[in-house]
Amino acid sequence: MKEKLEALRQEAIAQLNDVADVQTLNDLRVKYLGKKGALTEILRGMGALSAEERPLIGQVANDVRGAIEGLIESKQQAFQKAETEQRLQAEKVDVTLPGRKMTQGGTHPLNKVIQEIEEIFIGMGYHIAEGPEVETDYYNFEALNLPKNHPARDMQDTFYITEELLMRTQTSPMQVRTMESMQGKVPVKIICPGKVYRRDDDDATHSFQFYQIEGLVIGENIRMSDLKGTLLQFVREMFGPNTQIRLRPSFFPFTEPSAEVDVTCARCGGSGCRVCKHTGWLEILGCGMVHPEVLRKGGYDPEVHSGFAFGMGPDRIAMLKYGIDDIRHFYGGDVAFLKQFARM
């Protein structure tokens, strides 16, 4: 048996020295050291040896196994080193080449407009109030003077989750929540930016989701002239110092009186063009004095306090400001479209 083991050692070493690839090396490992390998087959005859011979043969077998394993390990390390060197040669970097220019991102045009609006109103002493997009029917409608079955609810058809939970149709709920949190204290000066949802079919001027920024001021002796002066200041900072506004009577359930606000066309300065349909005016927001019932719902006495509110769509303002003719561009993720605003 000793002779068989020595012969096995010589045979294995000879074959391992000629190995040229990893697959052959693995095959030889199984051939000589596997469960059904040559060494195992020889050692099955250990039972026929005498007690004196077994330790000696066992020592020889261990030496043979150690020699084969050592050579296999050496070969494996050599293959790994060669593979690493080959990969390094293939992947080496020429440091003399010019660097790759990194693509620089930019702020989305909608975010630009929202940030600009926020900065204008913060400069006038307003605070930003944000709240949930999933709202209760009470805050979205009832507290804003829109009780159940009120026909004006049809103007803001939305997505209901349950009978009492819905995706908000406006950011006005934050006005009521803010009034409640103030517990009758004044002054209140906030703007409420955020995303809103309505069941509109998407087209060039409508989207089922869009942004809205609403404002609320409550105090003593707040008048319509305060509202007009605030909006005039806003549009001149937004569109230019020569911008004018006009208020047209309108209807909103949560304000009385109410008005639609137009600004002189930013394209033609009011002389008339295709953008303003040759009227010289563009509608940008709605506003009015806070309805007494809304004041009561918010915890204020309309005999003591008054206020005004307004609401605008940053999407529409961005379309007017940048000459964009389709609201869907804002939400399509078209990189070519967004690149136009990267450095504006």
pLDDT of 193 reads 96
pLDDT of 127 reads 96
**CA-derived radius of gyration, the chain:** 40
Task: Tell me what the mean pLDDT of segment 12-33 comes to.
Answer: 82
Token digits of residue 224: 């319509």
pLDDT of 47 reads 63
pLDDT of 147 reads 85
**What's the mean pLDDT when you consider all of the chain?**
87
Query: CA–CA separation, 191 vs 171, rounded Å?
Result: 9
Query: CA–CA separation, 244 vs 263, rounded Å?
Result: 6
> Over 90: is that where the pLDDT of 259 sits?
yes
Q: Which residues make Cβ contacts (< 8 Å) with residue 224, sequence separation at least 6? A: 257, 289, 308
pLDDT of 344 reads 62
Task: Tell me what the mean pLDDT of segment 270-279 comes to.
Answer: 83
How confident is residue 95, by pLDDT bands cut at 50, 70 and 90?
confident
Task: Tell me what the mean pLDDT of segment 330-336 comes to.
Answer: 87
Half-sphere exposure of 41 (CA within 13 A, CB side): 9
Helix-then-strand count for the chain, H and E: 11, 9
Closest to 177 measured CA to CA, from 148, 208, 210, 138: 138
DSSP code string of 249-300: EEEETTEEEEEEEEEE-TTTTTS--TTTTTSSEEEEEEEEEEPHHHHHHTT-
pLDDT tens-digit readout, 203-250: 888 888 999 999 999 999 999 999 999 999 999 999 889 999 999 999
Task: Tell me what the mean pLDDT of segment 318-341 comes to.
Answer: 86
Task: Tell me what the mean pLDDT of segment 175-199 comes to.
Answer: 94
Token digits of residue 309: 């509110």
pLDDT of 99 reads 79
pLDDT of 118 reads 96
How confident is residue 336, by pLDDT bands cut at 50, 70 and 90?
confident
pLDDT tens-digit readout, 286-312: 999 999 999 999 999 999 999 999 999
pLDDT of 71 reads 84
pTM above 0.75, yes or no: no
> Over 90: is that where the pLDDT of 103 sits?
no
> Over 90: is that where the pLDDT of 191 sits?
yes
- Which residue ranges are tagged as binding site? 256
The label of the residue with tokens 């906030």 reads 190
> Over 90: is that where the pLDDT of 42 sits?
no
pLDDT of 206 reads 83
Token digits of residue 24: 């052959």
pLDDT of 233 reads 96
- Which residue ranges are tagged as binding site for Mg(2+)? 256
